[in-house]
Structure 1
């Protein structure tokens, strides 16, 4: 199967990112590309959901199978293709951006990024919606197409790892799963030990991995979750500040007020007056 769509230049020229050319190939063993330096003036993203293929980079042939992907920056030399005996199931997009995006900064510097990604993060359904909108293109679909592409890039930012990276995908899933439990029960009296047990790692390794994957310490993440819950209670309930502090997991209302003011720049009662209905 070979499906592909070319989109017209969008009427609004300030989208963060926008697809130009996209497609989905399965059972297409003839899929091979070799583009010279400067030929393609857009980013080129490929995600493999099945089968086998390859890329050539710096003279090295890199095997690309299920759960792997690559991004080439604008103007880069590109050479890749499907394995003729086991053609890959590949979803791809050529796109442009108007601003620098975190995922693409390293791509620009390295002249190509090759990575593994988590197959369980809903990327296929995002692509399927992009394909439906592209097949039945209408101008009012442009904002959604831009948003879907940004969602793909954001999902990969959180759920991918360089092929030779130090944190395997199963470790990332374990840490993010622990973070979701902590967020959902932030009122509990969490300690580093109880949080680490969620992932099965020692306190030391949990702390190190959490910092790398979540971009903050477990305690900072817990505090952020508690503050978010407290802010919702402030604007949506008539509970007292002391009751809200307890319901959000702060052991003392005085400490809650201190932390809230440091982060929000105002005490809880002032926040309630400013944002409460």
Structure 2
């Protein structure tokens, strides 16, 4: 059976980890939220407007989006456009048990959705999602649905690499990691997503997963493709981008809210990631 879910509140959370399927209009989100699932969206009509950190993303009709819900994200009201979407949530522990290739795990942790045309996947994605919805409601078919979901996720990720674009495929084979390594890297990314506003360091992240700093740093770089310090900085910059767009706070207030302990560090890191100063970034959206 489907677990209970709050769909139209500020926080969208599953009461317990389970496969979840829904079809209908997108929920209203007053602020970003996060959840520990792999999320799939299929847009049947209209479009989805997402805000991931300070970056906007549009998913058009006929496209499938896939992303890890641990990255704070928010649906933005698309206006008068009627929108019809199929939503699928797959518990992260189940996804990690699939032992996905290293580059696939890295894509999921890169804080940006993968968006592909539904026609590039199976013959009828809408029918597949509808079958999952029916099977989950009926009960007794969870194992079958999970096998199909596993295959579908691998199809979506088959030609995508972490350095490639969110839209469209690139190719670059990489070795398959041990499930434990992927799980530890994901746990570190999750810890950062929950605590980047605090003055955490790479040592704090390593301690959270009970690894030595050197081992944790090596493992994270191998799976995710970047250092823990860079990942923390990207999360903080993404939050600063969001606040620059959506609030009237001063840059000093935003730097503090995003986890930066010094203005100089904020400006330097923001320029490195975005290529412009925070004030110029804000003005470009107004």
With structure 2 as the length reference, what TM-score do the two structures score? 0.44
Q: Higher strand share goes to which structure?
A: 1
Larger radius of gyration: 1
With structure 1 as the length reference, what TM-score do the two structures score? 0.45
Which of structures 1 and 2 has the larger relative contact order (alpha carbons within 8 angstroms, sep 6+)? 2
